[in-house]
Amino acid sequence: MLPRSCSPFLLFLLLSLTACSGDAPMTDAPSPEARALLDKYTTVRLTADLGDLTDGQRRLIGLLIEAAQEMDAIFWVEAYGDRDALMARIDDPGLRRFAEINYGPWDRLADNAPFIEGVGPKPPGANFYPADMTKEAFEAAAAENEALRSLYTMVRRDDAGRLVAIPYHTFFADRIERAAAKLEEAATLAEDPGFRHYLERRARALRTDDYYESDLAWMDMKDNRIDVVIGPIETYEDQLFGYKAAHETFVLLKDLAWSERLQRYATLLPALQRGLPVPEAYKREMPGTNSDLGAYDALYYAGDANAGSKTIAINLPNDERVQAARGSRRLQLKNAMQAKFDQILVPLAGLLIAEDQRPYVTFDAFFGNTMFHEVAHGLGIKNTLDGDRTVREALRDLASSIEEGKADVLGLYMVTELIAQGEWDGDLMEHYTTFLASIFRSIRFGGASAHGTANLIRFNFFQERGAFTRDEATGTYRVHPEAMAEAVDALSERILTLQGDGDYDAVAAFVDAYGFVGETLQADLDRVNAAGIPVDIVFEQGPAVLGLDQP
Ligand code: ZN
C-alpha cells in the first residue's frame, strides 16, 4: 500500500528505485515527493538558558543525553527492527530523513501509511511481537504464561515455535547496561540528594525491569532543577494490545518560578472530583493532593518521545500503585509548547477560526488547556465499578484514546470551574476558541495516535451538539460558548461512564460512532495542508545546540 497522497510521479519514482536497487547511484537531494512529506514538520532548535548551571550540572546533562541515545536505539528495534538495514535500502536522502523522524518506514502522521516501496502495512504490535502472530494464538499462550502480557517483555518464538517472553533487560542487554552506567555516572555529579537517589534507582530499574522503587524515588524528589524521564514508559506504540511499554527519554530543566504558580492547582483536585458531572459511583476514588505540577524546558527528546508528533506535556508515572501511593507528576514542556503555538496553531486559526474570534487564540489559553489536560488525568477513576480490574486492563488497546479524551474534556471542565471560582484569571472564550483550534491541530496526527482519535471523537460529538458551527462562505468555524459548556458536560459524563463500566464493546462502539473524518472536515484539513502549515515539529537538538561543548 502506498501513501494516500501518493502521486503517479512518486509511484514511478518508487518503482524505478526498486527496479535498479543495488547499483543505483545515491542521489544527494531530496525528491519533491520526499520534500512534501518532510514539509509536514518544521524544524525547531531545542534550546534553553543554561547560563547559570555549574560545570558539573552541564556534564550531568551530557551524560543524560548519552543515556537517552541508547533508549533511542532500543526504540528503533521496538518500533521497526533493523534500522541500518532499512536505511541502506533507501536512496532518497529526503526519505531517509523521513524514516528517521518516523523511526521506521511508516508515516506516523498518516495512519502509519508506508512511504517506502515494498514495505507492507505496519504490524499493529510493531516489533514487540512476531509479525505473523495472531491475537488468538497470543491469548492462548498468555493463558499459560502471564509474562507474555508484561509491559516489559518482547514476545518471540522459541525453536519449537512457541511464544516466549524475553525481558527487555535481557533482549537489549548491551544498550541497557550502557544506559544504566551513564545514569550511575550522572548520579555522582548530582548535587540534589533526591535526584541522586532517583538516578541510582533508575539505573537498577533498567537492569531489572522493576521500576516501582525508582518511580517512588522520582515522585519524592522536589527541589532538583535538572530532571530526566527515561525507560520503557508509554504503551501507545503497541496498538495490538496496548501491553508493551516503549523506551524513551526526556531530559528536562525546571522553570522554578512557573512551577510554583502551577503547583497550586493540584491541591484543588479533590473538590473538582466531587463536582464532576457524573453519578456518585463514577467519582468515588479520591485523587491524591500531593501531586506535583511543574513547568520545564525540554533539552533532549529520544525514542518514543521523539517519534512523529512531539509531546508537550507529560503525566507520570503510569503505575497505578505509585499513583495510589504518591499521586502523579505533571510536566509542562514550555519551550516545545511555545514552538507549536507559534508555528502551527496561530497560522491554523488564521484559516479555520471565524475572523472575529481569532484574537481569542492565545498562548496563555493554550498553556492553560494543556496544563489542565495533564491535571485532569488525575480526575475520574482508575478502577472499574465492578472493582476487579483497572480501567486500563478492561479497555486494552482503546484505553489510551479514551483516557486522552477524558483528560481533554475534563481539562476544559476544570478551567470552567476554576474561572467561576475566581481561581484562574483566564478568559473562558479564549480557552474555548484555543481549544477548538487545538482540535484541528491534533486531528492532523491521524487516527493512528491516541490523541488523534480522542480529538476526532470530540470534534464529532461537539459538532453534533452545536458547540461550534461552520460558515459555508468562509470555511471557518465559530464557537458557541453556551452549547460548548453543555457539550463539555455531556462528553465528560459519557467518557467517565464508559471508563467506570469497563465495557470494552461499548467503548469500541463509541469510538466507531464518533472517531471518523467526515467529508467537510477532510476538505478543511486538505486546505490546511495545501497552505503549507506544518503538522508538527522536529528538533535540532543535542550537546552542540545546547552549547554544552563550550567550557
Ligand atoms: Zn494526556
What lies within 8 Å, CB to CB, of 439 at 6+ separation is: 455, 458, 459, 462
Residue 16 — very low, low, confident or very high, per pLDDT cuts 50/70/90? very low
Q: Are 343 and 537 in contact (CB under 8 A)?
A: yes
DSSP state of 342: I
For residue 156, count CB atoms less than 10 angstroms from its CB and return exposed for 0-12, middle for 13-18, buried for 19 or more.
middle
Q: Which residue has the cell 527541589?
A: 223
Confirm whether 409 is domain-assigned: yes
Span from the CA of 303 to the centroid of ligand 1 (angstroms): 18
Higher pLDDT, 289 or 167: 167
Angle CA 147–150–153, to nearest 5:
85
Positive or negative: CA dihedral 149, 152, 156, 160: negative
β-pair type (226-234, 106-107): unpaired
3-state secondary structure 310-328: CCCEEEECCCHHHHHHHCC
The boundaries of the domain holding residue 471 are 173-533
Strand partners, 253: 226, 297
Q: What percent of the chain has pLDDT over 70?
A: 93
Report how far ligand 1's centroid is from the alpha carbon of 207 (Å). Answer: 28
**Separation of CA 282 and ligand 1 centre (Å):** 20
The alpha carbon of 420 and the centre of ligand 1 are apart by a number of angstroms equal to: 24
* Ligand 1 centroid – CA 139 distance (Å): 29
Cα angle 332-335-337, degrees, rounded to a multiple of 5: 60
Q: How far apart are the first and last CA of the chain?
A: 51
Rounded-to-integer distance, Cα 264 and Cα 294, Å: 10
**321 CA distance to ligand 1 centroid (A)?**
19
User: What grid cell was written down for 535?
Assistant: 503538522
Range in 25-39, 95-109, 244-258, 458-472 the model is least confident about: 25-39
430 contacts 446 by C-beta, under 8 angstroms: no
Please check whether residue 331 lies inside any domain of the structure: yes
pLDDT at 290: 57
Distance of CA 406 to the CA centre of its chain: 15
Question: Which pLDDT band holds residue 452 (cuts at 50, 70, 90)?
Answer: confident
Q: Which tens digit of pLDDT belongs to each residue from 46-97? A: 999 999 999 999 999 999 999 999 999 999 999 999 999 999 999 999 999 9
Average pLDDT, the chain: 90
User: Cα(529)–Cα(479) distance, rounded to whole angstroms?
Assistant: 23
Mean pLDDT of 22-38: 74
407 Cα: distance to centroid of ligand 1 (angstroms): 6
What is the torsion angle, in degrees rounded to the nearest 10, for the CA atoms of residue 214, residue 182, residue 295 and residue 152? -50
3-class SS of residue 167:
strand
Share of the chain above pLDDT 90, in %: 73
Amino acid making up residue 482: E
Nearest to 46 by CA among 364, 370, 333: 333
Short-list 188, 190, 230, CA closest to 206:
230
Distance CA 386, CA 508 (A): 19
User: Residue 131 falls within a domain, yes or no?
Assistant: no
Nearest CA to 344 among 478, 101, 100, 531? 531
**Which stretch, 403-407, 441-445, 463-467, has highest mean pLDDT?**
463-467
367 alpha carbon – ligand 1 mean position (Å): 14
On the question of pLDDT at 12 being above 60, the answer is no
DSSP lists the bridge partners of residue 471 as: 476
| Nearest CA-CA partner of 119 in 80, 164, 172 | 80
Flag whether pLDDT at 291 surpasses 80: no
Half-sphere exposure of 149 (CA within 13 A, CB side): 14
Instruction: Residue 434: name the closest of 511, 372, 525 by CA.
Output: 372
Cβ(450)–Cβ(401) below 8 Å: yes
Residues lining ligand 1 (ion), CB within 5 A?
404, 407
CA-CA distance, 129 to 150, in Å (whole number)? 12
How do beta strands 292-303 and 329-333 pair?
parallel
179 in any annotated domain: yes
143 lies in some domain: no
CA distance 110 to 10: 16
User: Phi and psi at residue 128, in whole multiples of 5°?
Assistant: -75, -25
Lowest model confidence (mean pLDDT) among 33-47, 131-145, 442-456: 442-456
Residue 363 burial by Cβ neighbours in a 10 Å radius (0-12, 13-18, 19+): middle
Q: What is the pLDDT of residues 172-215, one digit of tens each?
A: 999 999 999 999 999 999 999 999 999 999 999 999 999 999 99
pLDDT at position 18 over 80: no
What pLDDT, on a 0 to 100 scale, did the predictor assign at position 293? Answer: 82
Q: What are phi and psi of 196, to 5 degrees?
A: -60, -45
Q: Is residue 500 in some structural domain? A: yes
- pLDDT tens digit string along 502-522? 999 999 999 999 998 999 999
- Confidence band of 547 (pLDDT split at 50, 70, 90): very high
Model's pTM, two decimal places?
0.79
CA 377 to ligand 1 centroid distance, Å: 7
Strand partners for 246 = 234
Number of domains into which the chain is organized: 1
Question: Which CATH number does the domain housing residue 320 bear?
Answer: 3.30.540.30
* Predicted local distance difference test score (pLDDT) of residue 7: 40
pLDDT category, 326, cuts 50, 70, 90? Answer: confident
Distance (angstroms) between ligand 1 centre and the Cα of 453 equals: 12
How far apart CA 192 and CA 426 sit, in angstroms, is 35
> Is residue 106 one of the residues assigned to a domain?
no
User: Residue 527 — very low, low, confident or very high, per pLDDT cuts 50/70/90?
Assistant: very high
The CA 535 to ligand 1 mean position distance, Å, reads: 19
Asked if residue 487 belongs to a domain, the reply is: yes
Bridging pattern class, strands 41-45 and 536-540: parallel
Copy the grid coordinates of residue 133.
Answer: 502472530
- Main-chain dihedrals φ then ψ at residue 294, nearest 5 degrees: -140, 155
